[in-house]
């Protein structure tokens, strides 16, 4: 296959590095299990062989566990990754009572609670890994002005909490740019002139290029009064319309590659893949990789990268590295 003559494509892999548990149960607090971290050294070696420079967005449960923290330090010492921060409110002190589905989303917490939890998380990461985290993602996605301003206060320069074309009962990212941008501190879903913190969304889209239009259709048929038609399911199976995620837990390699081709043809110069460290363990939480999860995810990532690399020049970056490169060559958002 002849390589494209297009400019290099920035490729980012961010990994929410966190505890594992059965999501059908209660949110864990002080007694969180982080056994999945033991798989990260071999997984990191696999990624390194592919050229990937992952960003490990570490939450408090991992940073506070001596064994897990030691493992992350060993990986970090190789200097081919980045250690960022990931805030899971339910297992990040101080605690303000049992976590609920609503309070598990950072954007639903009072500002003062977020501030206290964020300070504890940032301090623990610096204590354990001798780094000041510069990149961040909220637990369970979503961002608002309060959280964004708190991030700037603690020195975060790159956020990745925007989940394009997604909304639920607790937050919405609908209407946010799908390409990296400088978010408005008072409305993080729109771009602005501030230059303190950069937003680098994950790559999500559809198998058709006009993402905004098709998202409107997909969203309309996802809830009453139109959901009874099962249009989205029928559209998926017939390939009429597929919502696709650059995430090996949610999309098969062929769908991730389809998404990559679509966004590259739309002019994207960055691909942002994402996953959770907890999905490396066999579990019931991953849509696809719940059996032989480690092998499944490793093979999926390999297939995507090797296929892309045969056609495009890939520039592997951490979140902060990607943000710096993108800021040097800004790109207009596309729909």
In this predicted structure, what is the pLDDT of residue 125? 99
- Tell me the per-residue pLDDT of 89-127, one tens digit each, with 9 for 90 and over: 999 999 999 999 999 999 999 999 999 999 999 999 999
pLDDT-based confidence at 325, cuts 50/70/90?
very high
- Tell me the per-residue pLDDT of 1-47, one tens digit each, with 9 for 90 and over: 556 667 899 999 999 999 999 888 889 998 899 999 999 999 999 99
Q: Could you tell me which residues come within 8 angstroms of residue 2 by beta carbon, excluding any fewer than 6 positions away?
A: none
- Tell me the per-residue pLDDT of 251-300, one tens digit each, with 9 for 90 and over: 999 999 999 999 999 999 999 999 999 999 997 766 665 689 999 999 99
pLDDT-based confidence at 240, cuts 50/70/90?
confident
pLDDT-based confidence at 333, cuts 50/70/90?
low
- Tell me the per-residue pLDDT of 41-67, one tens digit each, with 9 for 90 and over: 999 999 999 999 999 999 999 999 999
Q: Is the pLDDT of residue 188 over 90?
A: yes
Of residues 231 and 123, which shows the higher confidence score? 123
Q: Is the pLDDT of residue 335 over 60?
A: no
CB-based burial of residue 193 (10 Å sphere; 0-12 exposed, 13-18 middle, 19+ buried)?
exposed
In this predicted structure, what is the pLDDT of residue 294? 96
CA 142, CA 273: separation in Å to the nearest integer? 17
In this predicted structure, what is the pLDDT of residue 2? 59
Cα dihedral 298, 303, 305, 306 in deg (nearest 10): 120
CA 27, CA 294: separation in Å to the nearest integer? 24
Residue 25 DSSP SS3 = coil
In this predicted structure, what is the pLDDT of residue 59? 99
Contact of 113 with 96, CB cutoff 8 Å? yes
Selection from 173, 170, 201, 325 nearest residue 263 by Cα: 201
pLDDT-based confidence at 231, cuts 50/70/90?
confident
Residue 91 DSSP SS3 = helix
Of residues 122 and 221, which shows the higher confidence score? 122
Looking at residue 20, what DSSP letter applies? Answer: B
Residue 183, beta-bridge partner list: 191
- In the chain, the percentage of residues whose pLDDT exceeds 90 is 79
Label the pairing between strands 135-138 and 158-159: parallel
Q: How many CB atoms lie within 10 A of CB 3?
A: 10
Domain spans of the chain?
9-207+244-328, 211-241
Mean pLDDT of 186-198: 98
Highest mean pLDDT among 204-208, 227-231, 302-306, 325-329: 302-306
Q: Is the pLDDT of residue 208 over 90?
A: no
Mean pLDDT of 165-187: 95
Q: Is the pLDDT of residue 223 over 90?
A: no
Judge if the upstream peptide bond of residue 156 is cis by omega within 30 degrees of 0: no
Mean pLDDT of 71-82: 99
Selection from 254, 217, 247 nearest residue 232 by Cα: 217
- Which top CATH class is 9-207+244-328? alpha beta
Judge if the upstream peptide bond of residue 94 is cis by omega within 30 degrees of 0: yes
Of residues 333 and 96, which shows the higher confidence score? 96
In this predicted structure, what is the pLDDT of residue 315? 98
In this predicted structure, what is the pLDDT of residue 217? 77
In this predicted structure, what is the pLDDT of residue 310? 97
Q: What is the mean pLDDT of the chain?
A: 92
Mean pLDDT of 227-237: 73
Selection from 215, 240, 207 nearest residue 164 by Cα: 215
């Amino acid at each position: 296959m002849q390589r494209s003559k297009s400019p290099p494509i920035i490729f980012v892999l961010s990994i929410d590095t966190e505890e594992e548990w059965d999501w059908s149960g209660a949110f864990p607090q002080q007694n969180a299990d982080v056994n999945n971290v033991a798989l990260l050294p071999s997984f990191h070696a696999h990624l390194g062989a592919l050229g990937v420079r992952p960003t490990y967005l570490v939450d408090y449960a991992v940073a506070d566990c001596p064994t897990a923290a030691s493992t992350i330090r060993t990986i970090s010492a190789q200097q081919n990754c980045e250690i960022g921060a990931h805030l899971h409110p339910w297992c990040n002190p101080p605690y303000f009572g049992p976590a609920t589905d609503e309070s598990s989303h950072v954007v639903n917490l009072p500002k003062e609670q977020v501030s206290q939890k964020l300070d504890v998380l940032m301090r623990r990461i610096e204590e354990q890994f001798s780094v000041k985290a510069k990149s961040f993602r909220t637990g369970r996605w979503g961002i608002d002005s309060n959280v964004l301003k708190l991030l700037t206060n603690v020195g975060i320069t790159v956020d990745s909490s925007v989940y394009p074309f997604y909304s639920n009962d607790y937050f919405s990212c609908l209407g946010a740019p799908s390409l990296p941008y400088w978010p408005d501190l008072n409305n993080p879903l729109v771009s602005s002139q501030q230059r303190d913190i950069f937003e680098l969304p994950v790559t999500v889209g559809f198998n058709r290029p006009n993402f905004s239009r098709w998202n409107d259709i997909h969203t309309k048929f996802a809830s009453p009064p139109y959901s009874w038609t099962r249009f989205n399911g029928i559209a998926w199976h017939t390939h009429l319309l597929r919502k696709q995620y650059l995430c090996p837990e949610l999309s098969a390699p062929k769908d991730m590659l389809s998404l990559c081709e679509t966004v590259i043809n739309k002019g994207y110069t960055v691909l942002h893949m994402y996953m959770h460290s907890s999905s490396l363990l066999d579990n019931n939480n991953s849509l696809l990789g719940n059996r032989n999860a480690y092998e499944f995810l490793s093979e999926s990532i390999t297939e995507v990268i090797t296929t892309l690399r045969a056609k495009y020049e890939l520039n592997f970056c951490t979140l902060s590295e990607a943000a710096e490169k993108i800021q040097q060559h800004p790109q207009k958002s596309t729909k």
